[in-house]
Structure 1
C-alpha cells in the first residue's frame, strides 16, 4: 500500500518516496518482499502519489512479478477493497504491507507468513507492544489493548479474502473483532515512519553497528 500523501511527515515528498539513509521507503519494502517467499507483488497507488507511481512503473519494467494497481484514492480501506477485487485474489488470504516500514527485510516477512500459517482463521494482525515502540523511540499511535497489554497494530498483516477491516491509517483492526494476533517485539516490524522523529530513529537503527535491533526479545 503506497498511495499516501504523508502529511504528518511534512514537506512535499510523497510518503513512499521519503528517503531513509538515502533510499526511498517504498524501495526498501519492495526489496524485502523480493527477498521473501512472496512471489507476486501488487503495488497499490493513488492519485495522491503520482511521483510514487512513476517510480514504481520504472521498476515494474524490469520486474515481471511486480504490478501496479491504480486505486481511486478514497482512503486506505476503500483502496484496499478495490485492490483485492482488481487482483482477483479469489478469496485467498493476502499479505498487506504499508510502505512505511524501512527496516523490513525478507526474513521478517517470512516470519509473518509462518505465523499466519499456524494461526486460526485466514487473517492475522501483527501487533507490537506500545512500550517496545516507545523504547525504540518511534511514534505509537492507534493503540489498542489485548489481554491487558497496550499494543499498536503494525503495518504488515495477512488479510482474508472477505476481511478488509483495516484502519484508514494503514494499521489493521482485526484485533478488535476476534482475528488472530501475532505479538512481536521485532524492530523490523515496529518501526513505522509517520513523523520526522520516526525518520531519525529509523536511520539511527539502520546505521547502527548492532545487528540485534531486529530480533524478538
Structure 2
C-alpha cells in the first residue's frame, strides 16, 4: 500500500511523497520491496493513488527483476505492469477503501503491507504467512513497545487483544474465503522492526537509529569465549 499523502511528516512530507521518503538514504518503498523480494512472495502489486503520483511513476519506472519479468493483465486499465511489480491505481479514498479496491483485483490469499515499514524483513513476512495458514491474519505490536521506542502511536487504531493494548503494524494476510477485509485472527509480536511505522519525523530518526544498531551488531566480529 503506497498511496498515502504523508501529511503528518510535516516539512519532510511537504517535499517528498511518503513512500519515497528516505530512511538512511533509501526510499521506504525500496526497503519494503527488498523485504518482499527476500520473503516467500510470488508477485507484488503496488497500490498507488492520485495522492502520490510521483510514487506511481517511480514504481512504473522500476527495472527490478526481483520477481521475474512476467507482465500483469492490464486489459481493464487498472493495472500497469513493471518488471515484477504490478501497479494498481486505486481511487485515493483512504487506506481501507483503497485496500478493498485492490483486493477485488488480485488473487487471494494475499499478503498486504504498508509502505511505511522501513525495517520490515523477510522473516517478518514469512512468519505472517506461516501463522495465517489458509485464513486471514492481522499482525499487531504492543503499544507499550512503540512507546518504549519513542515512535508515534495512532490512538484511533489501537485495540485490545487478550489483556494487552496493541497497534496494527500494517502487515496482514487476507485469506481465500473472506468476503470482506477485516475478519481475521490476531497475531501479537514483540518485534521492533514492525513497531516502527514512519508517520512523523521522529519515527524516521528512530528507524535510522535501529538500522545503525543492527549494522553494528552484524559487523561486530564474534571472537567466541575468551580464555
Q: Give the TM-score, by structure 2 length.
A: 0.80
Structure 1 residue 112 corresponds to structure 2 residue 132: no
Give the superposition deviation at 1:136: 1.5
- Aligned positions of 1:20-169 closer than 5 A: 20-59=23-62, 62=65, 64=69, 65-87=84-106, 89=107, 92-117=108-133, 122-141=135-154, 142-160=157-175, 161-165=178-182
Structure 1 residue 192 corresponds to structure 2 residue 208: no
Give the superposition deviation at 1:12: 2.4
Q: Hey, what's the Cα distance between the residues in 2 that align with 1:113 and 1:106?
A: 11
Give the superposition deviation at 1:153: 1.1
Q: Hey, what's the Cα distance between the residues in 2 that align with 1:72 and 1:24?
A: 23
Which structure would you say has the larger Rg?
A: 2
Structure 2 SS opposite 1:86: coil
Task: Please name the residue that 2:224 is paired with.
Answer: none
Asked if the contact 1:60–1:66 (Cα under 8 Å) also holds between the matched residues in 2, the reply is: no
Where do 5+ consecutive residues of structure 2 fail to align?
A: 70-83, 219-227
Give the superposition deviation at 1:163: 2.6
Asked if the contact 2:152–2:199 (Cα under 8 Å) also holds between the matched residues in 1, the reply is: yes
Structure 1 SS opposite 2:15: coil
Give the superposition deviation at 1:33: 0.2
Runs of 4+ in 1 over 3 A off after TM superposition: 60-63
Give the superposition deviation at 1:146: 1.6
Q: Which moved more, 1:155-164 or 1:31-40?
A: 155-164
Give the superposition deviation at 1:93: 2.2
RMSD: 1.6
Structure 1 residue 14 corresponds to structure 2 residue 21: no
Asked if the contact 1:41–1:66 (Cα under 8 Å) also holds between the matched residues in 2, the reply is: yes
Q: Give the TM-score, by structure 1 length.
A: 0.84
Asked if the contact 2:161–2:186 (Cα under 8 Å) also holds between the matched residues in 1, the reply is: no
Give the superposition deviation at 1:188: 1.6
Q: Deviations over 1:30-67 (max 9, x none)?
A: 01000001010000000110100111011157552311
